[in-house]
Structure 1
Amino acid sequence: MQEETEFVGGVNHVVRHDDTVTRPAGPWTPSVHRLLDHLRAQGFTGAPRALGISEDGNEETVSYIDGEVGHYPLPAHARSDDALRAAARLLRGLHDAAADFPHRPDDVWMLPSREPVEVVCHGDAATYNCVFRNGLPVAFIDFDTAHPGPRLWDASYTAYRFVPLHAPGADEGTLPLPEQARRLRLFADAYGLSAEHRALLPATVAERLTALVDFMTTRAAAGNLAFARHLADGHHRRYLADAEYITAHADQLAD
């Protein structure tokens, strides 16, 4: 007898059948599956395996990764220093494996490419798209937002979510500024960010959050009900408040 589990949340309807997961597909899914195949060929195991796309192109199937996803409110282990460092190393491994991905002229991505193209970014490598085992991140899931871009562009959002870099009063929880700076340093050390990228990291986080709000607004205007709901719930106001907070304290965070 197959075990079937329905996952409800985020922007997709997802169903697990034993060791596989069925998700809605989009025009970008063939490119994403090529990326997942490439990551696997490079020896990177921190991502699902691509298993196929339905004949009508409406559904994709990927492998199920056993563990706990870091949904809010986050458990204590997801906020530990060890988990933060492991997330940074996992993202670095993904980027290193994706650095020589063979791009094609007919590739389609949900998000636009950003220059300089150094890797294929995950695009949403956050706690809620991370599988934890024994308290540590072991894989990222939901690669719909993958797109070519700079390492720092991707790392900035992962740092934002895992440090976290929320302004005071955030529902997701926040930390005093000195603690945010300390944990941001741990993330940068574990990923191996250069001195130049460390200096640019706070400003890039703020830019990344502003771009996220623009994306949400565009998708909602195009009729996407999930993003329209996110706007109605005020998610964009949180991102903009966090971007303003990070910009105001960029010097302390970059120190």
Structure 2
Amino acid sequence: MNVEVPLSGGDVTEGVVRVGDTVRRPVGPHSPAVHGLLRHLERVGFEAPRLLGVDDRGREILSWVPGEAPGRPLPHYAVTEEALVGVARLLRGYHEAVSSYEAPEGAPWDTVASNLDGKPEIIGHCDVTPENVVFRGGRPVALIDFDLARPTTRLYDVVTALRHWAPIADPCDRDGPLYGVDVGRRLRVFCDSYGLDRGARRVLLVAARTRFERSYEAMRFRAEHVGGGWARIWHAGAGPRIRRAQDWLERNWDELDACLN
């Protein structure tokens, strides 16, 4: 008999369970697009969940990626500079892996979510939070949870990752080990490790400002019209956290900008 173990890492997708060496997840409107992306990542050898099919309850079957995805509060191994470097390189590796993917026209990506202006360059992960990075031996090795993947820019994915990993956040909303970190230095380390060019660095903070504003509106829309986990996150204070992060970014703009350029 297969024992189903509920997985609690995701904030939004409900009903995710582990069964042996597989993960079962409800199929949603964006699943066909995500499945095509996962098949591509398997073909090119990027470490991510492998699509194994659909079970008799209509749930997608994904391979279990061995390792640890950091929970809250963040463990020490997830907040070191070595981890920051590793996440940046992992994201760059993902972008290189996905750069050869041509998504089918009309693929049903999640288009409610925020984006930056400009022509999409890749299918971004768009949710590189600690909960979606798998570590082994203290080293980030894989990405999971591609529900928010969609056409976007490399810079959007970088900014989204930095929101959580630098972190670009008011100190009162950071995990304890990140409360007093030098965010400017961590921005620089991440960008150096990713290999972000000077042109992108010059507009990174502007992109972060835009992302915060659009993320606020997108999350409010999801809370009001989608409900479920999105509503729980919103009512738990997601909106005020975004506004505090925006204010902190503006207050520290010059110092952060000097670190990037």
TM-score above 0.5: yes
Which secondary structure does the structure 2 equivalent of 1:26 belong to?
A: coil
Q: In the alignment, what sits opposite 1:146?
A: 149
C-alpha distance 200-175 of structure 1, shift in aligned 2 (>3 A): farther
1:29 to 22, 28, 31: 31
More strand by share: 1
- 2:36–2:103 CA contact under 8 A, matched in 1: no
Q: Which runs of 5+ in 1 are unaligned?
A: none
Q: After TM superposition, give the deviation of residue 235 of structure 1 in Å.
A: 1.5
Alignment of 1:66 with 2:70, yes or no, is no
Q: After TM superposition, give the deviation of residue 49 of structure 1 in Å.
A: 0.8
1-side partners of 2:207 and 2:59: how far apart?
A: 34
Residue-pair matches, total = 252
Q: In the alignment, what sits opposite 2:12?
A: 11
Q: In the alignment, what sits opposite 1:156?
A: 159
Q: After TM superposition, give the deviation of residue 55 of structure 1 in Å.
A: 7.4
- 1:95–1:151 CA contact under 8 A, matched in 2: yes
Q: Which runs of 5+ in 2 are unaligned?
A: none
Identity across aligned pairs (percent)? 36
Letter in 2 for 1:110: D
Q: After TM superposition, give the deviation of residue 250 of structure 1 in Å.
A: 2.3
- 2:84–2:190 CA contact under 8 A, matched in 1: yes
Q: After TM superposition, give the deviation of residue 176 of structure 1 in Å.
A: 4.3
Once the two structures are superposed, residues 68-91 of structure 1 have per-residue CA deviations (whole angstroms, 9 ceiling, x without a partner) of 111110011100001000000000
Letter in 2 for 1:19: D
Q: After TM superposition, give the deviation of residue 183 of structure 1 in Å.
A: 0.9
2:41 to 39, 42, 60: 39
Q: After TM superposition, give the deviation of residue 3 of structure 1 in Å.
A: 4.8
Q: What pairs with 1:214-229 in structure 2 (closer than 5 Å)? A: 214-229=217-232
Q: In the alignment, what sits opposite 2:79?
A: 79
Q: After TM superposition, give the deviation of residue 146 of structure 1 in Å.
A: 0.1
- 1:87–1:137 CA contact under 8 A, matched in 2: yes
TM-score of the aligned structures, taking structure 2 as reference length: 0.90
RMSD: 1.9
Q: What pairs with 1:1-255 in structure 2 (closer than 5 Å)? A: 2-8=2-8, 9-12=10-13, 13-45=15-47, 47-53=48-54, 58-111=58-111, 115-173=118-176, 174-176=178-180, 179-255=182-258
Which secondary structure does the structure 1 equivalent of 2:7 belong to?
A: strand
- 1:203–1:247 CA contact under 8 A, matched in 2: no
- 1:163–1:183 CA contact under 8 A, matched in 2: yes
Q: After TM superposition, give the deviation of residue 201 of structure 1 in Å.
A: 1.4
- 1:21–1:61 CA contact under 8 A, matched in 2: yes
2-side partners of 1:117 and 1:147: how far apart?
A: 9
2-side partners of 1:101 and 1:55: how far apart?
A: 30
Letter in 2 for 1:25: V
TM-score of the aligned structures, taking structure 1 as reference length: 0.92
- 1:77–1:83 CA contact under 8 A, matched in 2: yes
Structure with bigger RCO (C-alpha 8 Å, 6+ apart): 2
Q: After TM superposition, give the deviation of residue 195 of structure 1 in Å.
A: 0.5
Q: After TM superposition, give the deviation of residue 175 of structure 1 in Å.
A: 4.1
2-side partners of 1:206 and 1:76: how far apart?
A: 29
